[in-house]
Amino acid sequence: METTSLDRFIELGLNVLAAVIILVVGLWLAKWLRTFLRKSFEKRALDPMLVGFFSNLIYAVVVVFIAIAAIGKVGVQTTSFVAVVGAAGLAIGLALQGSLSNFASGVLIIIFKPFSNGHFIDIGGIMGTVVETGILFTELKTPDNRKIIVPNSRIMSGPITNVSANPTRRVDIKLGVSYSDDLDKVTDVIKDVLSKDARVLAEPEPQVVVCELNDSSVDFHVRPWVNASDYWGFFFDFHKTIKQRFDAEDISIPFPQRDVHLFSEKEQAG
């Protein structure tokens, strides 16, 4: 009786040890497989977004099978365990509808590709460069080097502004000058500044028009086209240059003004 109990104890210990070995070795192999798949996909010049998504998905599936194998080695009936896991998975799925929605949205992102890794996007006010699209979340890096993790369902549930999708961008700038300034001269000065900047594209032709007669200024819309990579550099440089040229050409940028009329009590009574 004691020998049988000891044998069972030894057998259980060996099975637990084997399960631990399966788990440890299996997890190592799963990580190795994920790295191998990443490198294989990258050699075939696949989209980096596809590489990250499918390698992580395959890793998760392999880990599940490893866990089932380890549990089966301990002596738990895997068939019944799979049934229990299936039932639990259904319950968990109902409780985690948001996560399933994130997964489905991740698949849609991969299929329709509204953006790729390296693109700068705006998702309802959340802006950043796409680092990686995962199974449930997409990682963004902001211009000030913060990491933002956005659920995939949020990305697909609203408008996506992909700033990097096209190679060129139009810069929209509004300038105001005084009513006393010569509008033709102002137009010529603005066009001259644009023509001397190599970043401004010849086609489409830059647009310089009077757009509004404001309370204290005549407003111009300046709309040149530049390469997407030159957008912010040109935007900041143009404002500095045009201010310097306006000063040199004696063109004023007016401050908001109001005429205030004061009346004495006698005038009001009369």
- Domain edges within the chain: 2-95, 114-162, 168-248
Give the range among 70-74, 106-110, 115-119, 262-266 with minimum mean pLDDT: 262-266
CATH number of 168-248: 3.30.70.100
Residue 261 has pLDDT above 80, yes or no: no
CATH class of the domain comprising 114-162: mainly beta
Question: Which pLDDT does position 226 carry in this prediction?
Answer: 96
The full length of the chain comes to: 270
Q: Per CATH, is 2-95 categorized as 3.40.309.10?
A: no
The overall average pLDDT reported for the chain is: 82
Spatial CA neighbour of 133 closest among 97, 105, 167: 105
pLDDT tens-digit map of 156-197: 888 999 998 899 999 999 999 999 999 999 999 999 999 999
Question: Which pLDDT does position 243 carry in this prediction?
Answer: 95
Q: Which residues does 3 contact at the CB level (< 8 Å), separation at least 6?
A: none
Q: How many angstroms separate the CA atoms of 270 and 267, rounded?
A: 5
pLDDT tens-digit map of 208-251: 999 999 888 999 999 999 999 999 999 999 999 999 999 999 99
158 exposed, middle or buried (CB, 10 Å; 0-12, 13-18, 19+)? exposed
Q: How many angstroms separate the CA atoms of 100 and 106, rounded?
A: 10
Q: Which residues does 203 contact at the CB level (< 8 Å), separation at least 6?
A: 225
Kindly provide the residue ranges of all beta strands, DSSP E only, lying in 124-181, ordered along the sequence: 126-133, 137-141, 147-151, 160-162, 168-170, 173-177
Q: How many angstroms separate the CA atoms of 78 and 60, rounded?
A: 19
Dihedral (CA of 204, 208, 214, 217) sign: positive
pLDDT tens-digit map of 111-159: 788 888 889 999 988 999 999 888 788 999 999 999 999 999 888 888 9
Spatial CA neighbour of 55 closest among 113, 134, 141: 134
Q: Which residues are registered as beta bridge partners of 210?
A: 220
Q: Which residue has the higher pLDDT, 130 or 69?
A: 130
Q: Which residue has the higher pLDDT, 81 or 205?
A: 205
pTM over 0.85: no
Q: Which residue has the higher pLDDT, 163 or 89?
A: 163
